[in-house]
A and B are shown apart, each in its own frame.
Chain A
Amino acid sequence: MNVPSGLIANIIVRRGDAFTLDIDLTIEAGTTTALLGPNGSGKSTAVDALSGILPVDAGRIEMAGRLLDDPVADVYVPPESRRIGVVFQRYLLFDHLDVTDNIAFGPAATGASRRSARAMAGHWIEVLGLSDLAHRAPHRLSGGEAQRVALARALATKPDALLLDEPLAALDVVTRSELRRTLADHLVDFRGPRLLITHDPTDAFLLADQIHIIESGRITQSGTPDDIRRRPATPYVAALAGLNFLTGTNTGGTVALDLYPHTLRSADTHTNGPVIVTIHPNAIALHTDEPHGSPRNTWQTSIAVIEPLGDITRITLDAPAPLSVDITPGAVTAMALEPGSPIWASIKATEIQLDSA
């Protein structure tokens, strides 16, 4: 039962009377767990507790058999002694140091000589393809570059575990999918437990082995990405699970789907070749008559399934592609929709997100 090289945490943090974070996490070495939840669900508090910035009020954090935080045993290991690397959403690079010295900061702070710290930084600069930026000041980096430097800086300390706190949230769509690939590559090489904090289901579904859904400070569902998608346990997860994931091949913005005889137009002309296509169920609009507007994707189909989910109703479209569409129950009534109704669907090209498969 005990996983000596893994991260085991029961985190209880109280924020006044209004909010309590109470979650259990077990992350085995060499696997990635995602903590997926909306803003304000307690994700950042969890990061603060795990990294040691915020002591837990109750519970216990243990890493590779080493106790890090336990109020009952009166143990609190401060962040500088935890050996948990963190990649922050806002990068938090030190602006008075160039890229090399930012990456060398950890080794230098933990006793390496200036020369060997810079040599270690050089290694990670090469691994993450940052050679051209080695002497650049952080404020002159793009978001994607800065986040790669932040990842290198965290990895250069040779941490026992890696926390990624919304690493992609501050990036634009194209950079995000590029960096997601970078993360996927380097997470595999990292031997310790990895925790990805995100509000973006795409990140969680594409990067994690295990997903915990966190809502209002509690974990409401746990499982593999497939489990979560197939059997959503709460309305929030259901809304997430409505995400349409398709595979296809992109050629300069024209995406031919693999499984369905249909072609989509995407604003992403960079991510060519085999792709995973993500379309949010809110991004698809339904019309009773043929629409004439800006959306680059319009096609005629019919309604296959109507599924009331409380505040929203999920429609599943019929051939050519069984996409999920979320609309309000009011719209269902107004348009007199029922299974079999003919319907026009439209999606803006900017709403079709592509990631290299």
Chain B
Amino acid sequence: MSQSAETRNLRRRPPWPLAVLGALGAAVFLLPLAGLAKRTPWRDLPELISSDVVLAALRISLLTSLGATTISLLLGVPLAWLLARVDFPGRTLLRAVVTLPMVLPPVVGGAALLFAFGRRGLVGEPLNDATGFLLPFSIWGVILANTFVAMPFLIITVEGALRGIDRSYEHAAATLGASRLTVFRRVTLPMIGPSLRAGAVLAWARALGEFGATVTFAGNLSGRTQTLPLSVFVALESDRDTAVAISVVLVAVSLIVLVIMRDRWWTRT
């Protein structure tokens, strides 16, 4: 019955220029979804998305995007900590390099990965000589490509959080005898928890939608390296209905995750 002052204030009518422009901004996102929904063969949808090719692509997509998220957490959080907390030469440059994949065309990223990890690559050649292991055109290659484009989102989010938290709590923990690693585990990580989860979700979402670096570095081998976005691209050429169906699956999965995450984590401050 009685609403908070803030709620009632939010219900006031907005000024019309902001409302109109804001609504146009929303249309940029809503119209493509509407187009997709209109084109979707809803009746045949279950059959279309349960074909072997689609299920294999779904499996590879989930496996590789979750794998990339895990690696991003494992390596990205320590890297974010180094960038935020340690003053070393070249830090500014490293920070720029780390965020480069966010602005680089993914195809360029994929090509760079080939030159580093390909059969004749900087690291790939000695690795192949020593172990016979080849990253490109394997599921590991997909995970590496996903990690390359997704980890920057996690690093940026976590580094920002590390810079934003009140260092006094870390100092207090140190006066209690906690080593820097203990402080990190028991004070810093819990304090940046919400940002950590938000960063992980962003990275996961980016990995799930990854296309360019993957196709360049890992190819488009059905059942081995073909992810959902790649299968959409292939299906667009031959089988429009399947392409639309996969797109709907991608939209649905992403939307569900984003809505849930937003409610549970991002609104917590």
**Residues of A near any B CB (own CB < 8 A):** 51-53, 78-86, 88, 90, 92, 94, 96, 105-106, 109-110, 153-154, 157
Contact = CB atoms under 8 A, between A and B. Distances in A.
B190 A85 contact: no
Given A94-B190, A96-B190, A96-B191, A105 B171 contact: no
Contacts of B190: 94, 96
Given A94-B187, A94-B190, A96-B191, A109 B168 contact: no
Contact of A92 (B169, B177, B179, B183): B169
Nearest to B177: A110
Interface in B164-178: 168-169, 171-178
Nearest to A111: B177
B186 interface: yes
7 closest A-B pairs by CB: A109-B178, A106-B176, A79-B174, A92-B172, A110-B177, A96-B190, A86-B175
B168 A90 contact: yes
Given A88-B168, A96-B191, A109 B175 contact: no
Contact of A79 (B171, B187, B193): B171
Contact of A86 (B172, B180, B191): B172
B92 interface: no
A275 B259 CA distance: 60
7 contacts: A52-B175, A53-B175, A79-B171, A80-B176, A92-B168, A92-B171, A96-B190
Interface residues of B, number: 19
B179 A109 contact: yes
B117 to A, nearest CB: 40
A90 B168 CA distance: 9
Contacts of B183: 80
Contact of A51 (B175, B187, B191, B193): B175
* From A83, A86, A105, residue with most partner B Cβ within 10 Å: A105
Given A79-B174, A109-B179, 12 more contacts: A53-B171, A80-B174, A80-B176, A80-B178, A80-B180, A88-B172, A94-B187, A105-B173, A109-B177, A109-B182, A153-B176, A157-B177
Given A80-B178, A92-B168, A109 B173 contact: yes
Given A94-B187, A94-B190, A105 B175 contact: no
A105 B176 contact: yes
B171 to A, nearest CB: 5
Nearest to B182: A109
A81 to B, nearest CB: 8
Contact of B177 (A53, A96, A106): A106
Nearest to B175: A86
